[in-house]
Structure 1
Amino acid sequence: MFKMVVFSDLDRSIIYSKRFLGEDKSELEIEIYKNENISYISKKTVKLIKQLQRNIEFIPTTTRNIEQFKRIEFSKYDIDFKYAITSNGGNILVNGQIDSEYKDYINQKLKNSIHIDEIMKLLEEYKNIKGIKKIRKADNIFAYIVVDNKIFDLKYIELFINKIKDLNWETYINGTKIYFLPQELKKSTAIKYICDKFGYKNTFAIGDSIMDKDMLDFCRSSYLLRHGDLVNSLSKENKYIISRECGFRGSEEVLKYIISYK
């Protein structure tokens, strides 16, 4: 059993959409969707993850649902993960299969919030609001909308946000997506479960966004990518190690930090 464990966000932390490529076309394709390459990883990141895995457990920890997570082709570069946390803490995968013991555990916690079906009914009333492009349900656990920031205004759904807060649901804004999650549905819920189960004490986290904050706060050593939106909302008093570089180079910098940790 490894003594150290890294919980790492994926999008904009380890893998990147093609808009981050710039002029550099040498990065590796890692996700295909509708016959199009949509996500990339740097060659150096692949090498660093493999190097790190010799001594440290690496657990992807993502808001992606199970299907979206499985689209990422890590195995193409001979990277495999025994454990993965998906659905923002809603599922733990063990060798690609749902951990049923954890599923029972999280389902019990989610009973403190109103059921997702009721949230979807409320959200349906807003489907014609200007700027809302998609309404989605993820793994039957949480919901999100995709918006056009040029024409969408958060005030259009303020009533909905306030209403679901009284039903123990939280709202997170992350770029063009706005997530609605039960209060207990957090990355740190799954992380704590894994740490308690396997006795991990030396914990690292890698993230970039507001969706990663509870994970970064939970872990002992937390690395924040400079390009992420969380940087802009930090108080001066925070424990995070913020990367000097952005994008692919920032990911490589953070992985090197962890590998060199004594």
Structure 2
Amino acid sequence: MVVFSDLDRSIIYSKRFLGENSKELEIEVYKGENISYISQKTVNLIKEINKNSCFIPTTTRTTEQFKRIEFSKYGLNFKYAITSNGGNILIDGDIDKDYKIFIEKKLELSSSIDDTIKLLEKYKSVYGIKKIRKAEEFFFYIVVDKEEFDLRSIEGFIREIKGLNWDTYKNGTKVYFVPSALKKSTAIKYICDKLNYKQTFAIGDSIMDKDMLEFCRSSYLLGHGDLVNILQKENPFLVSKKSGFEGTEEVLNSIILSQKNLNNNI
């Protein structure tokens, strides 16, 4: 059994989710500031899952950003991790070279990242676009003002890159432009095929998690996530009743219960 889990707003949270008397654990420091937190219950539940299965962090974060998260500080150590939205698989913290060759071959079906970014140049002055950022050499995104930016203002660009095998995802204050083959599910399928995992679970909250949730057999969606609103009545996933840290704990407890039921039926 294996659990693939998104991180931000699925397992770890920013300050906005902290209560007034919060006792959540600090897990990420950036530029001298604590920016991400995890609950002690979440730590304990992930450890419980890892006793009889494999818990694999699966994130859109780059490898560098992922390594900022101090999981080991609380005794959480992961054999595998997926970073860069499926661009890298880490084994004991090191990049899987075989997978790197595999994914680079798939990315050849899309135009190069530099050529694609150049097409965005004429849209740089669009109202509401604050920054353009490249994530390693895999994908890029714009940071926007949610109140001022209108996705329709770059519709021409979106259509143009779609023909070059690039997809577009809007998630909060960011709009991601990603090669069509670069998906969390690409890396997940690779791991499952390699390690013969059949019982697959997934945890996510956003549009960037949708393909992962669709791929896995049992998938959980955090109730506070944007994807709940996007899917509405067509949502096929299990949605947490609670939000934030408590929502995460609810989902992890459900997975542990499923794990026990599976083991009892063997």
Alignment TM class, shorter chain as reference: over 0.9
Report 1:171-190 matches (<5 A): 171-190=168-187
Q: In 2, distance between residues paired with 1:159 and 1:234?
A: 25
Give the length in aligned residue pairs. 259
Report 1:1-262 matches (<5 A): 4-234=1-231, 236-261=233-258, 262=261
3-state SS, counterpart of residue 123 of structure 2: coil
The one-letter amino acid paired with 1:180 is F
**Aligned residues: CA RMSD:** 1.1
The one-letter amino acid paired with 1:17 is S
Q: In 2, distance between residues paired with 1:95 and 1:38?
A: 25
Offset at residue 237 of structure 1 (A): 4.8
The one-letter amino acid paired with 2:216 is C
Offset at residue 240 of structure 1 (A): 1.1
TM-score (structure 1 length as normaliser): 0.96
TM-score (structure 2 length as normaliser): 0.95
Alignment check: 8 A CA contact 2:59 2:83 kept: yes
Comparing 124-133 and 152-161, the one that deviates more? 124-133
**CA deviation profile, 1:44-89 (whole Å, cap 9, x unmatched):** 1011111111111000000001111111110111111110000100
Offset at residue 173 of structure 1 (A): 0.4
2:264 paired residue number: none
Q: In 1, distance between residues paired with 2:120 and 2:8?
A: 26
Offset at residue 22 of structure 1 (A): 3.1
The one-letter amino acid paired with 1:117 is D
3-state SS, counterpart of residue 119 of structure 2: helix
Offset at residue 236 of structure 1 (A): 3.4
Q: In 1, distance between residues paired with 2:240 and 2:219?
A: 11
Offset at residue 155 of structure 1 (A): 2.1
Q: In 2, distance between residues paired with 1:68 and 1:175?
A: 18
Offset at residue 127 of structure 1 (A): 2.5
Offset at residue 7 of structure 1 (A): 0.2
**CA deviation profile, 1:162-198 (whole Å, cap 9, x unmatched):** 1111111000000001000011110000000000000
The one-letter amino acid paired with 1:83 is Y
The one-letter amino acid paired with 1:172 is Y
**CA deviation profile, 1:112-158 (whole Å, cap 9, x unmatched):** 11010111211233223221111111110100111111221212211
Distance 1:239 1:150, change over 3 A: closer
**CA deviation profile, 1:193-221 (whole Å, cap 9, x unmatched):** 00000000000000001111110010010
Offset at residue 223 of structure 1 (A): 0.5
Q: In 1, distance between residues paired with 2:94 and 2:235?
A: 36
